[in-house]
Each structure stands twice: as C-alpha cells, then as structure tokens.
C-alpha cells in the first residue's frame, strides 16, 4: 500500500499536466474499483477545470471549478500515468489502452492521465469541496506529519497512558495521517525506540524527538521518489529509490548498520504487519 511519500511523489508528478487543466473528456471503463464510482462520474468530470491538486494523508485531492473535489486513492497497485504532455516532461504519444486502464482523463492541452489498477483496490470519489472534512474517508484523520499541527505536544498527548505498542499507535491514522509500516519502522530505528515498547512508557523527551525524525524520514523518502517494492511508480513511470537506503525494513537477518553494532535485524509480526528492528540499538 503506498504511503505518504509515494502519494506525494505522484501528486507532484501530476501537477504540470493536471493542475489548471480543463478536462476535455473523462472516460470511466468499469462501474467500480474497491467501491462503486459515484453516479455520472464521467459526465461530472468532463468540462471541469482542476483548480488545485492537494494531498491529505494517502489521498490525492483534485479541486474542480464545479465545486466538487475528486478523491483518488491508489490502493495496492494503482498508478496515475501521464502521456502526451505538451510541456514535453512526459511521453509525447499516448500508449495503446491497457487492460486495467479504468479511468482516463484527457485534457484540452493534450495530456492524458490514466488511472491503471490491476488489483482494483484503489478508489475514486467526488464530493462537495466545502464538505470534504466530513467525508467518511477523511473525517477521522489526524494531523499531517509534515504540517504544524503535528508537534511535540500532540504526540506526547497521543502517547500518554497508551498500553499499545508504539508501532501500533503511530500507524493509527487518527494519531497521525499518512504513516505506514515502512516509514514507522525506519523512524523508530533512527529514534532508537523498539517497536515493541508500549507508547505510554516512552519518556516525553524521546517522544518529542520522534517528531523531527518522522519528518526527516518522510522528507528523505519524498526526495528519493518514494519506495518501489512492488507496484509503485512515479507519474512519469520511473521507480522510487528510497528502498535502497532502508536501514531496517526488509533487512531481517542482516547486520545492523549502526557503527560498532554487530547485532542482526529482527522481524516480529505485530497486528498482522512485520516490524523490523535492531534489539541492541532500539530499546
């Protein structure tokens, strides 16, 4: 499942072709993905101009001049592919339609944005822009980890009295939006905190230090184009490269990268997800 850096990378890739563009034609090639598409989605998108392209947690939000916002969730294998961009930043010609091209947006400027999703765990929805804070996928989300609302006071309060493992608390989208398994593992390693430790038993100074560390991990990942493990591609089709700098994730049995540490990275399943950590460096 793409996490915040992958979704942000895709959003940034879409900006030159989609933001400010008028959708000359929208094609919806099936009735649903993970959930049914909204009624008359193709008609509601055709003729609309994209006035802004934002991200909230793991969702891309395209604001339209019609007063609606298109919500895009990539799911497990969803890709937003761009072709024919007249700015010359992507491919100049449109590829032949592929089997899993479920939604296609053609702009007046000649760009084509295709939502391809082989596993069909992605989703799209249209909502009233002024009511998006009440949308069922967005209303319970916590603060953005790269925003000002995610700060030391917020995280200390969120951890207080919690008996759940810190890994589980950080994955709770009500605590902080957009974090997933990969980047929580990497942030906890940099902070020297075991994913097994109960959140409420971590000292406030250590919790406070987690805030800039989480931001640094996410920023590094965005700069690297995200992590391509299975399906993630940037909007121009290129892979992300952050997986080449993982310090613990997916490195079970390998020697810890901390200088002078000879211990091996371990893996433990927590709530159905693999946690990777160094038992010596993370306490």
Catalytic residues: 2-3, 58, 273
**71 bridge partner residues:** 61, 125
| Residues present in the chain in total | 283
What is the rounded (10 degree) CA torsion for 28, 117, 227, 15? -10
8: part of which helix (H) or strand (E)?
helix 4-18
Written as six digits, the tokens of 87 are: 């700015």
Look at the alpha carbons of 166, 162, 158, 191 in this order and tell me if their dihedral is positive or negative.
negative
**25 bridge partner residues:** 106
Q: How far is CA 172 from CA 2, 57, 146, 232, 273, in A?
A: 16, 12, 16, 23, 13
């Amino acid at each position: 499942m793409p996490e915040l850096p992958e979704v942000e990378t895709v959003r940034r890739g879409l900006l030159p072709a989609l933001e400010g563009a008028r959708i000359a034609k929208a094609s919806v090639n099936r009735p649903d993905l993970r959930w049914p598409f909204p009624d008359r989605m193709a008609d509601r998108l055709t003729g609309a101009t994209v006035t802004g392209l934002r991200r909230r947690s793991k969702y891309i939000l395209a604001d339209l001049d019609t007063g609606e916002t298109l919500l895009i969730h990539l799911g497990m294998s969803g890709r937003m592919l761009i072709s024919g961009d007249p700015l010359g930043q992507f491919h100049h010609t449109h590829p032949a339609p592929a089997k899993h091209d479920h939604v296609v947006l053609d702009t007046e400027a000649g760009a084509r944005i295709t939502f391809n999703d082989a596993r069909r765990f992605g989703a799209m929805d249209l909502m009233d822009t002024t009511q998006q804070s009440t949308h069922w996928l967005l209303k319970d989300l916590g603060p953005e980890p790269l925003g000002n609302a995610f700060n030391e006071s917020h995280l200390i309060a969120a951890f207080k009295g919690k008996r759940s493992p810190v890994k589980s608390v950080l994955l709770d989208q009500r605590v902080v939006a957009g974090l997933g398994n990969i980047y929580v593992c990497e942030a906890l390693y940099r902070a020297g905190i075991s994913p097994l430790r109960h959140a409420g038993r971590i000292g406030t100074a250590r919790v406070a230090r987690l805030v800039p560390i989480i931001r640094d991990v996410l920023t590094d990942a965005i700069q690297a184009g995200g992590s391509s493990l299975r399906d993630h591609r940037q909007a121009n089709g290129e892979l992300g490269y952050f997986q080449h700098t993982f310090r613990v994730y997916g490195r079970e049995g390998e020697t810890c990268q901390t200088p002078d540490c000879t211990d091996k990275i371990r893996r433990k399943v927590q709530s159905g997800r693999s946690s990777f950590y160094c038992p010596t460096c993370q306490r």
